[in-house]
Structure 1
């Protein structure tokens, strides 16, 4: 495959913002960054032809999550049709490469033909007008391809959506030799780190001690009880985004996008076929996943029962005392890179004319 140059290392350009999965706000922030960067470009014109009046990348960025249920509101016919035609759509959002690995490839532990890298490649091919049936096995429409890219370009920059943790029976992170060795007997799949549980009260105390600015109180659902633990995946999807917003003294995706862009409106250039971009993004996320797991230690294994009455195993998790600071910084940088790389990809697909 022809090498692809993708600008990923944007950290230095935004290192001055030290004050102050990606849940809903994280995805919207990535979409908002791309919207601002693409304003007035040929790519924006092509995007507008596929989106409905009033829609933007920010507003459709959560569509791929919203199709999973009614938490975004009533399901539209478009959503119902997509789910019906894509029974494995939940698997499009991630890949489970052991976080200790350096590269994503098409085979090995955690890779599937419907994972996020493969699905992004298929969406890009659709927007490029490539007609090879093997490049569009799900028969995505051009509108679906764009909406899915707006979301998955965010997911693939969330390090735990690429770098997965596997735990041995001695409660240590391990690298499974093959997928067959992941058996919930000697090597446990943490299910995207959803089965790695943080002490929520201690986590809050660590954030306070690290001087993370306080946020708005979260209302508790009527009749609901506050959970004593937080899945590590949930922490990275939402809590790190919340901390990143608060450290920048912003409270909305649009305000976050405006602040991190500042005067830097230069979109990174993709050289070569943009269909290779997901490989570069996944490899970078594996690098970041190693940082996300730095100093993180699994502890006691705890048997859990799901709603179907089935037993599965989770592990308590301990993190360094300063963890809210580096994790929220990583989240900030990955949100920025997600927005810039989304804009770069769409501009590579629809370059300026003339």
Structure 2
């Protein structure tokens, strides 16, 4: 039920508040996910894992190009659905829930069965896909009969999702209009504790947010602007800001225009990305905990404003939204976080694939 309500609110918000560009529908946007794939591909050059990955790719595919596949199956914004996509969706009716978990951002760790988690959330889905790639899957660990190729498509994408702060840490709102920490799932009852759907129901004023960001991080001079016919937004969901806007700012700050350029920039900076520890099946937990800490920073000094009730034109469902304000210089720290997190995603993906296929 939660996932259906979350999806309904996202669709409703898209129709009510903005003409959403295709890339805004995906975590990290097309560019962000492709950055993760491109970084990993560079780091895998010459390794055993590179050969294993290539054996699962179709002609013309790369880790960069498949990084958005798990989002493309949700609709037709990437083009017509292939038979492979149709079969995957039919076999994975809850696939939209694989991309996130909603742990209260104030907490320090992800725990199985904790508030905001589920049996098919990003931590559990990554574990399952890793098991399939290891060749150790069983009917219990692989109930949807993922193939190794499908598992790879998922792992490449989810390694990007799990470093996006709002795909792990969520802000829940109490009836007093302040962020609260529910202890159990039952407390999130839309009476005393409201679920803003991973930040999709927290709305930034688009004009002021964009104006502040563009002043601090101006567009690159040779990057084409949006089409003149695009309908301007009035508000932008906080989740969408973290999906796409921060990636745009991160690429501006690195003076890169494509995922390939950003990936090379990232490697050239020789980043210090901490190694994951222990059994690879524990790595999704480690990554979620790390991203929770980042989510606390992402929520620092953001302020909840007035609440309003919206009605979905498509379903008739009513839901609450809250105005949200961020510091005037928010584009600077948020883009720095995005840059660091995207790099983590690429390095961890490469690390994981090498650990599976050493």
Structure 2 length-normalised TM: 0.89
1:276 aligns with 2:313: no
Q: Closer, same or farther in 2 for the Cα pair 1:134/1:243, shift >3 Å?
A: same
Q: Conserved in 2, the CA contact under 8 Å of 1:268 and 1:341?
A: no
Unpaired segments ≥5 residues, structure 2: 1-26
- Aligned 1:218-229 pairs, distance under 5 A: 218-219=226-227, 225-229=231-235
Give the superposed CA RMSD.
Answer: 1.6
Q: Closer, same or farther in 2 for the Cα pair 1:184/1:37, shift >3 Å?
A: same
Q: Displacement of 1:264 after TM fit? A: 3.6
- Aligned 1:69-88 pairs, distance under 5 A: 69-88=75-94
Q: Displacement of 1:210 after TM fit? A: 1.8
Q: Displacement of 1:269 after TM fit? A: 4.8
Once residues 35 and 133 of structure 2 are traced to their aligned partners in structure 1, the CA distance between those partners, rounded to angstroms, is: 23
Q: Conserved in 2, the CA contact under 8 Å of 1:220 and 1:226?
A: no
Aligned partner of 2:329 in structure 1 is 322
Q: Secondary structure at the match of 2:140?
A: helix
Aligned partner of 1:50 in structure 2 is 56
Once residues 293 and 256 of structure 2 are traced to their aligned partners in structure 1, the CA distance between those partners, rounded to angstroms, is: 28
Once residues 211 and 272 of structure 2 are traced to their aligned partners in structure 1, the CA distance between those partners, rounded to angstroms, is: 39
Moved more, 119-128 or 264-273: 264-273
Q: Displacement of 1:62 after TM fit? A: 0.3
Aligned partner of 2:249 in structure 1 is 243
Aligned partner of 1:332 in structure 2 is 339
- Aligned 1:62-141 pairs, distance under 5 A: 62-141=68-147
Q: Secondary structure at the match of 1:314?
A: strand
Q: Closer, same or farther in 2 for the Cα pair 1:194/1:267, shift >3 Å?
A: closer
- Aligned 1:1-354 pairs, distance under 5 A: 21-214=27-220, 216-219=224-227, 225-262=231-268, 264=270, 269-306=275-312, 307-351=314-358
Unpaired segments ≥5 residues, structure 1: 1-20
Once residues 25 and 244 of structure 1 are traced to their aligned partners in structure 2, the CA distance between those partners, rounded to angstroms, is: 11
Structure 1 length-normalised TM: 0.90
Q: Conserved in 1, the CA contact under 8 Å of 2:217 and 2:253?
A: no
Moved more, 88-97 or 224-233: 224-233
Once residues 264 and 217 of structure 1 are traced to their aligned partners in structure 2, the CA distance between those partners, rounded to angstroms, is: 31
Once residues 56 and 241 of structure 2 are traced to their aligned partners in structure 1, the CA distance between those partners, rounded to angstroms, is: 34
Deviation by residue 1:178-216 (Cα, 9 ceiling, x = unmatched): 211111122110101000000000001211332443553
Q: Secondary structure at the match of 1:227?
A: coil
Q: Closer, same or farther in 2 for the Cα pair 1:304/1:347, shift >3 Å?
A: same
Q: Closer, same or farther in 2 for the Cα pair 1:193/1:180, shift >3 Å?
A: same
Q: Displacement of 1:131 after TM fit? A: 3.4
Moved more, 174-183 or 279-288: 174-183
Deviation by residue 1:20-48 (Cα, 9 ceiling, x = unmatched): x2011100000000000001100000001
Aligned partner of 2:23 in structure 1 is none
Number of residue pairs matched by the alignment: 329
